[in-house]
Amino acid sequence: MNHNKITQDTIDALRPTIAPHYGNAILTVKNAKRKIELLCSGVLLKEHLGIKEDRQLQIAGSGCLAFADGSRGFCLSHARDYTILAVSENHSVIGADIEELSFDLSEKAVHHRAIVAKRVFPPALMAQYRAASPQEEPRVFAALWTRVEAVLKADGAGFYKEPLQHAALFDEWSCENIEFDDHMIAIASKSAIQINLIC
């Protein structure tokens, strides 16, 4: 769901129609971007999964969302311009992440990303990052970063788990990337993945 199409009128009109967990949070947060993310989350859950009431959801201590029965066949993620909802057709556990692709970074910003990669990417992913040419670096970094986030979300712990200390996780989960409108998306699942975008 594109954040740039959301106005205050949109928020006012749709807020009462979504699960109160999101609708009430919109009233309490001050950050305009966060209000839009909350609205988009609530609208996507309502439109694609029929979730309109809090009793249809569970929220784990790690912040992971689940259906009321505890199953986690869906995952939300936000970037600058979009909120996405990934849904598993067979109700298997999945994780998802979306990040904006950044192509025009300063040398200092690229250096900072290399430091982040070193601190976050397990050895196999770090090898892929180091092998990338300067031209490939923005896409490779985004693909690997979103993979890490998607796998950690699928695992259920998010960044409560240090990726470098749990490198084996990245062998346990299948992960696919897809580019969409200058954003990189990753979906992680235990089974083979085919991503079908619905906009």
Q: Is 105 a residue whose pLDDT tops 90?
A: no
**Per-residue 3-state assignment (H helix, E strand, C coil) for 46-90:** HHHHCCCCHHHEEECCCCCEEECCCCCCEEEEECCCEEEEEECCC
Type and span of the H or E element at 187: strand 183-189
DSSP characters for 103-122? -S--HHHHHHHHHHHHHHS-
> In the numeric block, which tokens belong to residue 102?
């950044």
In three-state secondary structure terms, 9 is helix
CA distance to 49, 74, 175, per residue, from 149 (Å):
23, 14, 11
What pLDDT, in 10s, does the model give residues 145-167?
A: 999 999 999 998 777 788 888 88
Q: Is 98 a residue whose pLDDT tops 90?
A: yes
> Would you say 77 and 98 are in contact if contact means Cβ atoms under 8 Å apart?
yes
What pLDDT, in 10s, does the model give residues 112-132?
A: 999 999 999 999 999 999 999
**What is the average pLDDT across 175-184?**
95
Q: Is 17 a residue whose pLDDT tops 90?
A: yes
